[in-house]
Structure formats: structure tokens, C-alpha cells
Copies of this chain bind each other. A is one copy, B any other.
């Protein structure tokens, strides 16, 4: 059952760190973010899901209950469980905080500008918690929302955890799911540090804005289930038509 409908079983490396039902919850969320299941779609039965994911039916039920509470899913009596059809589903976008003003959250499309393998400089090595000159993957992307270039990303990955990434036929838009399916790394936590900066010439050109325009810059440190830093990302984004959304409660 290596090749299931969902592309993979749940990774088992982090079981001790996150309850199994929480992992199922995150995985189902990713599948919806990826649009493998679309709003209005009926989910497979709990029995089927349990067998796909290699967990008990009770675990699947617990995960689906939470997602129903969060209004990501809806239950229809006697019919089954469906992907909710309303739009603002914050749980789905918990890792992607940029929202177009007066719009619902949406995932931007991505364009890979370059992918190289390089020795880490001191600052990147420190952020990734590896030794200087360790091999890292450097992935540069430009992302588009509503037909407008909105952000640039420099993404740094420890090569040892992503060996072979340069041979992948395609780098998909939503990296976290790709990390999970192709490298068995599940994103567990991220920390963003946000600053305001002025666009330098290179960024201004790539975003088709004026040199010196104000940009949000956020640096993100991402940890997997076993608390390893698996990605460091420097994002610069326009905020004239977008905002970074944070909810505290």
C-alpha cells in the first residue's frame, strides 16, 4: 500500500511529539489546502481514511471532529463528512498569513526563480542550526495573488534532509505538503519575525514596483515534528494591497 490515493502514509518519525490525531488533522488540512479535496467534496469514510493513513478509526474520528469544530469540515446527517463550502477557513491558512485587502484568504501561485545547492554562509548556517559551509538548498520563488506579483521568497533547506531535491521533476506551489510526501518531514511550528523595509533595486524589479517602496519582510523558522529546523525563509512582500493577518485569542 505504498502508493495510496493520498500519496503517502503519515510519517512515523515524530509520533512521540504530536498526538496521532493531531497529525491526521494536519494531514487532512493539507489535502484540502492542496485542493485534492475541494469545497463541497465528500470525504472517504472513516474506515477508508483509517486504512489509508494507517491509524485507528477512533483517531480519524477525533481528527475529523476537531476539523468540524473549526468549520473546515461539515457533517451532514446520514450522508457523510464534507469539505466546508464557506470561504474564510483560517485553519487552512494558518501557515500562510498574507491576505489581499477585502478578500478571503487564498493561496498564491508560485514561480521558481532558481534552485541551487550551496555551502551555507555563517548567518544561514546559524539560522538552520548547522555548521558553516554545510550544503544547503537555496530556492528562490516569486508568488502571485490576483494576477499581481505580491511576494519574493528566499528559502533555505538543509541538504541532508532534502537530498535529491534538485532531481525532482517539479517543485509544487505548496511546499509543506511536498516536504511531507517526498521527504517525510511534517511542518509542526513556524515562527515569523516581521519588519518593515524599503525595497532594494533587485526586489523592486522582480515585483514590478518602485525602488524604495515599503515592504513587509518576514523571516520564518520552520520546525518539524521532532523540533528540528527544516527550513529558513526570508520573504519580502508588498502590503499596499495585502496585509499580514494575525489572530490572538
Contacts and interface: CB of A to CB of B under 8 A. Distances in A.
A89 to B, nearest CB: 15
A193 B243 contact: yes
Among A218, A239, A249, find the residue whose CB has the most chain B CB atoms closer than 10 A.
A249
Contact of A193 (B95, B240, B244): B244
A191 B246 contact: yes
Given A196-B197, A196-B214, A214-B198, A191 B243 contact: no
Interface string A229-249: 000000000011011111111
B243 A194 contact: yes
A246 B193 CA distance: 7
A5 to B, nearest CB: 28
A190 B249 CA distance: 6
Contacts of A190: 247-249
A106 interface: no
Task: Classify the interface of chain A: helix, strand, loop or mixed.
Answer: strand
A191 B214 CA distance: 22
A189 interface: yes
A216 interface: yes
Contacts of A94: 248
Contact of A247 (B189, B196, B240, B242): B189
A244 B194 contact: yes
Going nearest first, the 6 A-B pairs with the smallest beta carbon separation are A196-B196, A196-B214, A195-B239, A193-B243, A194-B244, A189-B249
Given A194-B246, A195-B244, 17 more contacts: A94-B248, A99-B193, A190-B247, A190-B248, A190-B249, A191-B248, A192-B246, A192-B247, A193-B243, A194-B239, A194-B243, A194-B245, A195-B216, A195-B239, A195-B240, A196-B196, A214-B214
Interface of A: 94-95, 97, 99, 188-198, 214-216, 218, 239-240, 242-249
